[in-house]
Amino acid sequence: MKDTFRKPIKLGVTGGIGSGKTTICRIFTVMGIPVFSADIVASLVMESDQELRENLNQLAGKDLYQGGALDRQELAKIIFSDREMLLRVNSLVHPVVFSHYLEWAGRQETPYSVMEAAILFESGASELVDMILTVVTPVQERIGRIVKGKKLTEEQVMERIKNQIDDESRIKRSDFVVYNSENDMVIPVILEIHEKLVKLYNSTF
Ligand code: ATP
């Protein structure tokens, strides 16, 4: 946890692919806590931010927006076959997302707000938040969930896992860890974290 922070507290929620970040964030939403999804906003700004569109085209060396919208399959082909390219695309997209996030977080009036980000640490977004919650689920269970949802094949999930840091590294840098295997009771754990954050907010100001 950072030594100093301004209110409201900014909580980052992260975890490996398929760990259940979005599911956990829904519980925060139900409790009235605003949630900013870095992944959704990244996806939106790649469509709406003209300067970013131009920078992405320049990097790819071709028009990625031939049909008007971003050709995501083409982008995925480029970034998942070339790690250097992935880093360069990220370095174009992340600053745009961060500026939207900071502007959004500054407008929130609840004791804390949440940013959900799959690559919170890898992107540097961890520097923008005051506290961090990591969602942990065993890799095999995560693969099973994603494959079952027919989002990706097992090989594609493994490829993405390789591009992310592991749970041990995430846990070391987190203030809260939520275990989200099928039989874990997550709601009481989230409620406890919620109460802690509200208390911290009330005691700090
Ligand atoms: P991604 O990295 O793809 O964004 P995520 O970490 O946000 O994934 P979710 O989308 O919340 O993960 O969950 C992935 C899938 O696993 C969803 O189908 C969700 O319904 C399911 N799931 C989440 N938590 C549990 C759980 N505790 N038990 C069983 N299934 C779960």
Mutate which of 22, 122, 156, 157 for ligand 1? The one with the most ligand atoms within 8 Å of its CB, which is: 22
Side-chain-side CA neighbours of 9 within 13 Å: the count stands at 28
CB 12 within 8 A of CB 5: no
Residues 148-166, mean pLDDT to the nearest whole number: 87
Per-residue pLDDT tens digits for 133-146: 999 999 999 999 99
Site of tokens 């070339």? 82
Distance 142 CA to ligand 1 centre (A): 8
Indicate if ligand 1 lies below 6 Å from the C-beta of 180: yes
- What domains are defined for the chain? 9-39+96-202 (3.40.50.300)
Indicate if ligand 1 lies below 6 Å from the C-beta of 163: no
| 168: helix, strand or coil | helix
Residue 170, φ and ψ in degrees, nearest 5: -65, -45
The pTM for the full model equals: 0.92
Q: Whose C-alpha lies nearest to ligand 1, atom 13?
A: 20
Residue 133, φ and ψ in degrees, nearest 5: -120, 130
Indicate if ligand 1 lies below 6 Å from the C-beta of 16: no
Indicate if ligand 1 lies below 6 Å from the C-beta of 8: no
Round the average pLDDT of the chain to a whole number and report it: 93
Residue type, 115: M
Q: Which of 41, 44, 76 is nearest to 60 (CA)?
A: 76
pLDDT above 60: residue 3: no
Looking at 18-119, list the stretches that DSSP marks H as alpha helix, in order from N- to C-terminal side: 21-30, 38-48, 50-60, 72-80, 83-107
Q: Give 21-30 contacts, CB < 8 A, sequence gap 24+.
A: 21/116, 21/118, 21/135, 22/116, 23/180, 24/133, 24/135, 24/178, 24/180, 24/186, 24/190, 25/114, 25/116, 27/186, 27/187, 27/190, 28/114, 28/190, 28/194
The pLDDT value given to residue 49? 97
Per-residue pLDDT tens digits for 66-99: 989 999 999 988 887 788 998 999 999 999 999 9
Site of tokens 């009481």? 188
Q: How many percent of the chain have pLDDT more than 90?
A: 81
Distance 15 CA to ligand 1 centre (A): 11
